[in-house]
Amino acid sequence: MTSGKVWTVLKDGIEPLKKLSRAIAPVETWLPQDRVPWVIAGPCSAESLKQMLATARGLLKSSHVKVFRAGIWKPRTRPNSFEGVGEVGLDWLKAVKEETGLPTATEVANTEHVELCLRHGVDILWIGARTTVSPFSVQEIANALRGVDIAVMVKNPINADLGLWLGAVERLLDAGISKLAALHRGFSTYVETEFRNEPNWQIPIELKRRLPDLPLICDPSHIAGVRHLVEPVAQMALDLGITGLMIESHCHPEEALSDAKQQLTPKDLCAMLERLRARDAEVTDRDLKRHMARLRSQISHIDAKIIEDLAERMKWVEEIGRLKQQHNIPVLQLGRWENLLEDHIAKAEKVGLDADFIKAIFETIHAQAIKRQL
């Protein structure tokens, strides 16, 4: 019988995940891919049939928009706030599809939502950030979808937890759902930043490394939190090679019952999509390829030197650790560490390096040094 520890290694290992990734259907098999970016757009919340149709008609003017989205049920932090119109909104989604021909998408948080969406012919479901955090809820949804041929998008959990995101995708794959995509909407933070949710791009990149066949879609509306930041976040996503976007749009954003600050009018969204620029996935120019190869060779040389220097540093760290042990000196010398970090940051800023970047690097090195000395 496989022990829990060995099972964890098997489940979390990169190669088994990459093999599992091959079961995921290419996104072009369930969503048209003739334009980049391809966009899923619509209001944060369904509010009325009139609002839904007015928004959808405006979005039809952009050939980038491939799917119409709207929240039917809205999970809210506190009660007595607008929590969505419920089942009637599914009839409005159907009306939008009948008039525009656009496939429809909405969020589901439990088995009742799933059953109602399937009954009303919703084309694409997504699991929201508040649901992804609960393996029990995700498993119930996966069980309800077993044997159903439908596309499902999984938003990242609220907090920066790659394991929960990855686990939700695995549960759906285990249920036989192959039309899958990951939806990156950023992560909550207690620190106030310019974004509503920090993008932490390294986390979706790592998810993609582990499941290379999993389509990755960015939700710049929830990362930005305000209209004027939606475009730069969307461009960041495109610059990273993410070709799919989910963007909130409302015919009268200032009157929206939820997330009014981050929604764009259909007109503004269509104009923005024409300004966005996707980069070519492949380099075809031979001279450019050779030049990039030379630059990458230089970077690889420097990387090798960094590794050698770190190994040398750890040797001296261990020697200091032995002296501390012999003379009964605590491993952590907090005052010295704070002075050292300040000095590193000051030197880094003089040569044009970002202070937070250097701080993160040396905090990681220091943590490893402490571990070596214990």
Percent of the chain with pLDDT over 70: 96
Q: How confident is the model at residue 192 (pLDDT cuts 50, 70, 90)?
A: confident
Could you give the C-alpha distances from 138 to 110, 153, 206, 351, in angstroms and in order? 8, 12, 21, 48
The strand pairing partners of 126, in sequence order, are: 107, 153
pLDDT attached to residue 8:
41
Instruction: Tell me where in the chain the CATH 3.20.20.70 domain(s) lie.
Output: 10-275
pLDDT attached to residue 7:
34
According to CATH, what is the number of the domain 286-373? Answer: 1.20.59.10
Instruction: Tell me where in the chain the CATH 1.20.59.10 domain(s) lie.
Output: 286-373
Instruction: Identify the burial level of 87 via C-beta atoms within 10 angstroms of its C-beta, where 0-12 means exposed, 13-18 middle and 19 or more buried.
Output: middle
Is the whole-model pTM more than 0.85?
no
pLDDT attached to residue 281:
65
On the CB side of 342, CA atoms within 13 Å amount to: 6
Instruction: Identify the burial level of 364 via C-beta atoms within 10 angstroms of its C-beta, where 0-12 means exposed, 13-18 middle and 19 or more buried.
Output: exposed
Maximum Cα–Cα distance across the chain: 80
pLDDT at 5 over 60: no
Q: Residues 68-78: pLDDT tens digits?
A: 999 999 887 77
The answer to whether 14 and 135 have CB atoms below 8 angstroms apart is no
Q: Residues 84-129: pLDDT tens digits?
A: 999 999 999 999 999 999 999 999 999 999 999 999 999 999 999 9
pLDDT attached to residue 10:
40
Tell whether domain 10-275 is in CATH 1.10.10.410.
Answer: no
Across the range 203-223, mean pLDDT stands at 96
pLDDT at 6 over 70: no
pLDDT at 12 over 60: no
Across the range 197-211, mean pLDDT stands at 95
The strand pairing partners of 107, in sequence order, are: 126
Q: Residues 153-185: pLDDT tens digits?
A: 999 999 999 999 999 999 999 999 999 999 999
CA–CA dist 140, 127 (Å, integer)? 12
Across the range 237-247, mean pLDDT stands at 96
Q: Residues 34-66: pLDDT tens digits?
A: 889 999 999 999 999 999 999 999 999 999 999
What's the mean per-residue pLDDT of the chain?
Answer: 93
Q: Residues 319-353: pLDDT tens digits?
A: 999 999 999 999 999 999 999 999 999 999 999 99
CA–CA dist 353, 362 (Å, integer)? 13
